[in-house]
Structure 1
Amino acid sequence: MRPVIKLLLFGAALFNGLVTARLFKPQDVVTLPRPGAASLSPNGTFAVYAQSTYHADQDKSVKNLFLLNLQTSSVSELTPPSFDSAQNEPFFLDDSHVAYVQNGQIHVINLDTTDKPYQLTDFPVDIANVKYNLQSKMLAFSAAVYDDGTLEGAKEREDHLRATKKDTALAYDKLMVRHWDAFTQEKQNNIFTVNVEDKEGRYQLANEVHNVLKYTGLQSPGFPSGDASDYDISPDGKHVAFVSKISSTRNAWETAQYVYIAPSSADYFPKAINNQIPAASSHPVYSSSGLLAYLQMSQPQYESDRNQIVIYNPATSTKQLVAKDWDRSPSQIMFSADEQILYAVAQEFGRDKVFAINISDDTITTLTEEGAASIVGVLPDGNLLLSISSMQHPSLLHTLDPKTRHLKMHPASDKLMEHLSHIDFLTPEEFVFEGSLGDKVHGWLIKPSNFDENQKYPVAFLIHGGPQSAWADSWSTRWNPQVFAGAGFVVVAINPHGSTGYGQKFTDSIQRNWGSYPYWDLEKGLDYVLSTYKFVDADRVAGLGASYGGYMINWINGHSNRFRALVNHDGMFSTLNSYYTTDELYFPEREFGGPPYHPLNRLVYERWSPSNFVQKWRTPTLVIHG
């Protein structure tokens, strides 16, 4: 564990006397408090965030708000925890008023008084994905509505259906019918705007609500996993930029998602600014002067194409491609106050790093080297507020000086810091070996608890999903490597061909090669570990994977006999069957070269289908599926 983190965690538990560390257990994964996304006060003094905590004894969770003073690095509980109500999506209306969503409506609390929180909105339906523009005092939020585009109409329709409809049947005339575990509904997410005003220290709505997407057939945030990053408000509050996927009979075959600009007053229809590129775009974000940056992919049907940064000037309708030769795929961008720098988050070598990109000459500076970072905001003094996690701790807030790259970690809530202080998190190591195509392949290794180099230990060989994903130095509430290490296993987690963060060519190489390059990487990586680390027991290796990792478990079962046991969580068994049952047809067509009803394409599906090798399965396998 990094020394600064150990020191902070030790200090959080001093009141308990000597710290007695224990190993990380599965129960900790679900009971450890989970901090959410933070929001900055305009003056940069405070950050507010929601934190959820699961109570196993009652099988219930609480979610309440915490306030971090960035000047004193002190954390206080802003709202009390309760099983009856949860607070989420907090943000600042000004330096002393915090707003948040509770029971689907916005509430406000005054930091300068002891007054009870009050309810700001009373809309007919629940809202979410709230953003606020300080300059124009404008709220924006999303709500699911029907074709008439009104909140009142949505409530009336829901009440009518609840009273008259006796079944749950839905009729569809186009795909997608379902996306992941959510069935497509008749109502769609729309973005609404409304202004607020401060009347004698108490906020209230100042005008009628406007539906920015009314009568357009567009949807934003996207269904089912879109969020507030799908849109942004211009600095003067006059426009909203948002992304929306195409709405047509080709929806299940295409990833095309365009950036639109619309008036916040809804006076005229939105205009697409990049619909000449039939690929995905995302994360629109305005600068202080009104420039609009967003992320743009170029390959149709491909969710894992490289994101490139585009800056659009609404005044001249011109575009600038930033750092076009940078072989990384950013997932988040934000302007500096002077608009000379774009801060970007991108995966690189098993980390989510923060980079500073000089807009004028494309010079790129790496600002963080370890962990998985996201940008909360730019402080008035030019520093960045980041949220950083690692394999050894969940997300914690940090202040970064981009000039010196000095990183200061802030504490979390007492409950979280105390919980962390009692756990001995094991330190991950790294290794690199020569994999398929002569490429260098990167992997992680965590030694087990109470490690003794003279003993032999079993191996938990973890295989990630995606397949375009990666094992990173980040926290996970699902497949957390610390759980396996705490149980006495050597954890091995390799990022084979197809993984992200090692260049786009490395990511793309898995296409039409699901069972070749990645499988060979995993086999070679296991060979490397067994020959390099003498404490690894070659006779006790268990392979575990989910999604694509589960596919690879099935593939391994038909091609390797070196594993003692296998665990397959939601893994593909038949590539052909998966094509005809998936809701995302663009995914298998991109990965396997097209639809399988064409004879040449079918050869690729058949070649990489684990179902064709069941006769060779010999290894005991735990299958988890839902």
Structure 2
Amino acid sequence: MTIRASKFTPKVMLSAPRRSAAIPNASGTLLAYTQTTYSFESHSTTSELRVLNVVTGSSVLLTNSYSGSPQWLGDGNKLVWLRTEDNGNTSFIVGDGKQSVDPYVAGTVPGPVSNLKITHISPGLVGFAVSGKANPDGSLYNPSTAKKPVSTGKLYTSLFVRHWDEYILPQKNAIWYGTLQKTTSSAEEGSSSKYKVSDLKNLFQLVDATHLECPIPPFGGTDHFDICRQGIVFVSKDTDLNKATHTRCVLYYCQLQSWTQASPTPAKALALGEFNGAITSPVLSPVKNTLAVLAMREDGYESDKNRLIIVPGLFDGQAEPVELFKTDDGSGLWDRSPSSLTWSENDSDLFIQVEDTGCGTLFKLSIGDSLNPFTEQLSKLTHSGYVTGVAPASNKIFLSSTSLVENSLFSVIDLSKPDQQPAVICSSSRHGASLGLSPKQVTDLWWKGADGHPIHAWVVKPSDFDPRKRYPLCYLIHGGPQGAWNDQWNTRWNPAVFAEQGYVVIAPNPTGSTGYGQAFTDAIQNEWGGKPYEDIVRGFEYIESELEYVDTNRAVALGASYGGYMMNWIQGHDLGRRFKALVTHDGIFSTRFALATEELYFPIHDLNGVYWQVPQNWDRWDPSRFLHNWETPHLIIHNELDYRLTIAEGLAAFNVLQMRGVPSAFLTFPDENHWVVKPENSLVWHRTVINWINQYVGLPALVEKSEGADGEVVVGDMARLAVNR
């Protein structure tokens, strides 16, 4: 589907095709990727598995039925992908990457599995690993065939009770492995070779580790395990500690004497010494199977700095972890926190994805024979946008990325040519043009925040921006709080959507933001309403004095999660009187309510202890202490499946606004969690939010009349209708 839009609207954004990262074949001539497109006309999603020819730029549709990402079998142009069947089973499908004819079922397993990874063992023999939930008896869980209980009661005697948007059940994530082996069948016309899937083996059951769980919920996937010919490495939470109050992980490895026999060695924990926090991105190099992994030092702090660890000889009994860029004071030679790792084809380089000054950049680290590299051996390969996928092939590195105006870009770097910039292969949106956007709309700026620290912000202007005119300000505050606004595409909070309404959007990265050094990230501890608020206030003052094209007398502010907390905090403080309207999405109303969250380690860390030990910290930054100041029109959004911040927080905020006679409205989605991701719900969310803020700054409504047949909600004159006294 090709989008051609003259104006970027929520509907255009949500209708645009969403592509996965590109996966190259061994020769680097073909890129496999998946693509989903939602139609508001048919109210349905179209899913496609496609292969792009790197030279010609043309693509072939292989199938509309798949789950997860495909993998190249390294045998000509053969691909394998997963397909979910109606009965909940999963089939392994093998097809030709150059044409959509005659894919076949290589085998079917009796339940849902995902996160497919493969390793080439010998000619015609491929090992694979997938993740899938295991029943307490070790069998693969299939919700379609599982016996339904006669009661809905759930009894818990320890945390977690629920996590993200699900109650904890007896089934746990596990790693399953098997093989794809070529077999030859004879026929009258001759013989043909096809792959056949072996029986699925539960790794955790075979190594007596059924108490472990990998991938780690709720967001873990292929970044929590890896495989090679010698075995499997994976990460699990430390089962001796409570998962709700600790982030400590343990790294395990299991050697496989044979992928075709159920005979792995017992799972061994790899001691990482002082690294007592979260662990992620274990990756095994393709030649020597050297392990690289990211590890945090501090337990209970999910935003601690990721340290880069190399472990040579993992499966040879000589595993000695080495921390790269280590310093005696523990700070490290490199002040950035990597998020993902990828080995080069010959083990000589590590490609490192890392947030850096508002971008998701890629660095190359030359390892060579030295395991004590200096930062001088780091070379920055990208300088803008946000890299979402990295894949080496044929002495090239294939990148998938996005930006604030680009929803999907495939590019390539030829590693044989030093200092080469990424060459564009394919832009899904023609660099934003087909969506009605342009890179010229995006700039950035800096101001001095708390303690004189420089604060960075992105600026997104309307596509028809005229510097002689003045535009209302849309001030966006990000969540986390250890997060950042990056040069990155987002369908939940997209600054360009607001800019195209006629706002100048400014999205700051105040104290606590990531990508500006670990000390800046850490500085938000016990400062929730302190330094970040000061940064935001000083930003508003800078905009007012320095940007003539911004009308701060017509300003609105919006935020979600911690950004929602900040909206509630702003509402009770002086800055709140500078805005015409506010929007809080799933924000904290009272810090005491945070005791109802699932990942309790988050507020415990950020507020320097549990409530009964340091009540002064929790109370100091509690927005509900300042309810007597709430008077700015305020839209509250909170979803029923949000177990991170319960819906009581949103209801409490709305109830206060209503009782105080403040123009207000409450939007909720019973089937959404901390985010709003279903297209129809997202469209309602965008229209409600935009119509709420537009009416207070004199911009026209996005929707003039109800289109109830399409499930659309129209916000009327909320200043008049929303107060029910």
The residue aligned with 1:280 is: 278
The residue aligned with 2:676 is: none
* Secondary structure in 2 matching 1:499: coil
Decide which of 419, 422, 427 is 1:407's aligned counterpart. Answer: 422
How far does residue 121 in structure 1 lie from its aligned partner after superposition?
2.4
Q: How does 1:390-539 map to 2 (within 5 A)?
A: 390-402=403-415, 403-411=418-426, 420-421=433-434, 423-425=436-438, 427-539=441-553
How far does residue 279 in structure 1 lie from its aligned partner after superposition?
0.8
Cα distance per residue 1:78-103 (max 9 Å; x no partner): 22x4xxx4443111113321111211
Decide which of 79, 85, 89 is 1:98's aligned counterpart. Answer: 79
How far does residue 33 in structure 1 lie from its aligned partner after superposition?
0.3
Query: Does residue 253 of the first structure (1) align with residue 261 of the second (2)?
Result: no
1:530, 1:537 within 8 Å by CA — same for their partners in 2?
yes
Query: Does residue 226 of the first structure (1) align with residue 212 of the second (2)?
Result: no
How far does residue 504 in structure 1 lie from its aligned partner after superposition?
0.4
Decide which of 80, 94, 107 is 1:121's aligned counterpart. Answer: 107
Cα distance per residue 1:248-292 (max 9 Å; x no partner): 462211001121101344533211113643211111001121110
The residue aligned with 1:322 is: 324
Give the Cα–Cα distance (whole angstroms) in 2 for the partners of residues 143 and 160 of structure 1: 15
Decide which of 107, 126, 131 is 2:93's aligned counterpart. Answer: 107
Query: Does residue 269 of the first structure (1) align with residue 266 of the second (2)?
Result: yes
The residue aligned with 1:302 is: 301
Give the Cα–Cα distance (whole angstroms) in 2 for the partners of residues 125 and 306 of structure 1: 37
How far does residue 411 in structure 1 lie from its aligned partner after superposition?
1.8
The residue aligned with 1:88 is: 68
1:130, 1:139 within 8 Å by CA — same for their partners in 2?
yes
* Secondary structure in 1 matching 2:321: strand
The residue aligned with 1:622 is: 635
The residue aligned with 1:149 is: 138
Question: Mean alpha-carbon deviation: is it higher for 100-109 or for 137-146?
Answer: 100-109
How far does residue 112 in structure 1 lie from its aligned partner after superposition?
5.9
The residue aligned with 1:566 is: 582
The residue aligned with 1:311 is: 310
* Secondary structure in 1 matching 2:27: coil
The residue aligned with 2:606 is: 591
1:54, 1:60 within 8 Å by CA — same for their partners in 2?
yes
1:515, 1:555 within 8 Å by CA — same for their partners in 2?
yes
Give the Cα–Cα distance (whole angstroms) in 1 for the partners of residues 632 and 24 of structure 2: 52
Matched AA of 1:590: H
Pair 1:249–1:287, CA change in 2 (3 A): closer
RMSD, aligned CA: 2.1
The residue aligned with 1:26 is: 10
How far does residue 412 in structure 1 lie from its aligned partner after superposition?
5.2
Give the Cα–Cα distance (whole angstroms) in 2 for the partners of residues 394 and 555 of structure 1: 33
Give the Cα–Cα distance (whole angstroms) in 1 for the partners of residues 514 and 494 of structure 2: 19
2:61, 2:100 within 8 Å by CA — same for their partners in 1?
no
Pair 1:538–1:46, CA change in 2 (3 A): same
Give the Cα–Cα distance (whole angstroms) in 2 for the partners of residues 112 and 472 of structure 1: 36
Q: How many residues align?
A: 593
The residue aligned with 1:244 is: 236
Pair 1:412–1:369, CA change in 2 (3 A): closer
The higher-RCO structure (CA 8 Å, 6+ apart) is: 1
Give the Cα–Cα distance (whole angstroms) in 1 for the partners of residues 242 and 12 of structure 2: 44
Cα distance per residue 1:584-614 (max 9 Å; x no partner): 111111000110012xx11010000001001
Decide which of 132, 153, 177 is 2:118's aligned counterpart. Answer: 132
How far does residue 74 in structure 1 lie from its aligned partner after superposition?
2.8
Matched AA of 1:93: L
1:375, 1:384 within 8 Å by CA — same for their partners in 2?
no
Query: Does residue 291 of the first structure (1) align with residue 272 of the second (2)?
Result: no
- What TM-score comes out, normalization by structure 1 length? 0.91
Give the Cα–Cα distance (whole angstroms) in 1 for the partners of residues 99 and 29 of structure 2: 17
Pair 1:290–1:418, CA change in 2 (3 A): closer
How far does residue 122 in structure 1 lie from its aligned partner after superposition?
1.4
2:510, 2:535 within 8 Å by CA — same for their partners in 1?
yes
Pair 1:160–1:532, CA change in 2 (3 A): closer
Cα distance per residue 1:120-171 (max 9 Å; x no partner): 22111111111111235111111111122123xx35x974523xx2233322
Pair 1:250–1:547, CA change in 2 (3 A): same
1:74, 1:411 within 8 Å by CA — same for their partners in 2?
no
Runs (5+) with no aligned partner, structure 2? 85-89, 185-191, 257-261, 327-332, 640-725
Give the Cα–Cα distance (whole angstroms) in 2 for the partners of residues 204 and 25 of structure 1: 46
Give the Cα–Cα distance (whole angstroms) in 1 for the partners of residues 311 and 431 of structure 2: 46
2:92, 2:197 within 8 Å by CA — same for their partners in 1?
no
2:251, 2:279 within 8 Å by CA — same for their partners in 1?
yes
Pair 1:158–1:407, CA change in 2 (3 A): closer
The residue aligned with 2:713 is: none
Pair 1:256–1:522, CA change in 2 (3 A): same
1:447, 1:485 within 8 Å by CA — same for their partners in 2?
yes
Give the Cα–Cα distance (whole angstroms) in 2 for the partners of residues 492 and 37 of structure 1: 29
Query: How many percent of aligned residue pairs carry the same amino acid?
Result: 34
Question: Mean alpha-carbon deviation: is it higher for 273-282 or for 111-120?
Answer: 111-120
Give the Cα–Cα distance (whole angstroms) in 1 for the partners of residues 240 and 360 of structure 2: 35
